[in-house]
């Protein structure tokens, strides 16, 4: 398992410097939330990567569907893990006990597996909603700048599209930290600020 994403001390200092006009407690809360957003936001930079990821999710989703269908079948009253003749002929009931325990475990596991399958299906639908456009791909295909704006306004105040303002600086620094195109994020910033 990989380590959780964290801002370096230098990253935090850069963000704090960009947010000097704001109260320190609010800035620290904002930076902690921004770090969490950066940790959970998938970095699917290109449409090809998004398509590949969508295909992997589709495959996983199909496996889950088949597994859940099989588990449902096993849990139904009409299905038995052991053939009937074998149960009648056996003098040792350990295999029957194992079957009962297996069904109990399957029933217990079914709920969490179904929830996981629903999450995978939901993610797959979100990726399907991203349609490839013509020409150069948008700099903010995942809505990261919009989410930063919403978080900024919740914790610090109104975001503006002023090129050298705190919000623009935070977006630029965040994109640099995530190694995303950050040279001129003015268009996604303007789009995010307008979307109020």
Distance CA 90, CA 69 (A): 30
**Consecutive sets of 10 residues in the chain, 196 residues long: mean pLDDT of each?**
75 95 94 87 57 79 84 68 51 64 79 81 70 54 81 92 91 87 81 80
| Residues 145, 159 within the same domain | yes
Task: State which of 76, 104, 129 marks the end of a domain.
Answer: 129
- Residue 2 is assigned to a structural domain of this protein: no
Beta carbons within 8 Å of 164's beta carbon, 6+ residues apart: none
- Residue 1 is assigned to a structural domain of this protein: no
Q: Nearest-5° angle of CA 23, CA 143, CA 115?
A: 105
- Residue 26 is assigned to a structural domain of this protein: yes
For 159, the domain range is: 9-44+138-194
Distance CA 80, CA 57 (A): 32
| Residues 65, 38 within the same domain | no
- Residue 15 is assigned to a structural domain of this protein: yes
- pTM of this prediction? 0.53
């Amino acid at each position: 398992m990989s380590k959780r994403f964290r801002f370096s001390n230098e990253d935090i200092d850069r963000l704090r410097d960009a947010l000097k006009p704001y109260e320190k407690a609010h800035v620290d809360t904002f930076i902690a939330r921004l770090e969490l957003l950066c940790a959970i936001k998938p970095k699917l930079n290109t449409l090809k990567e998004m398509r590949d990821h969508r295909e992997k999710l589709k495959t996983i989703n199909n496996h889950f569907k088949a597994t859940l269908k099989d588990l449902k079948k096993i849990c139904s009253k009409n299905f038995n893990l052991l053939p009937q003749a074998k149960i009648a002929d056996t003098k040792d009931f350990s295999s029957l006990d194992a079957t009962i325990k297996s069904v109990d475990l399957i029933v217990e596991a079914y709920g969490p597996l179904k929830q996981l399958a629903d999450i995978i299906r939901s993610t797959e639908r979100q990726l399907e909603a991203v349609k490839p456009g013509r020409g150069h791909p948008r700099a903010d295909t995942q809505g990261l700048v919009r989410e930063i704006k919403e978080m900024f306004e919740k914790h610090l105040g109104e975001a503006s599209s002023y090129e050298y303002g705190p919000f623009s600086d935070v977006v630029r620094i965040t994109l640099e930290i995530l190694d995303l195109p950050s040279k001129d994020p003015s268009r996604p910033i303007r789009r995010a600020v307008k979307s109020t």
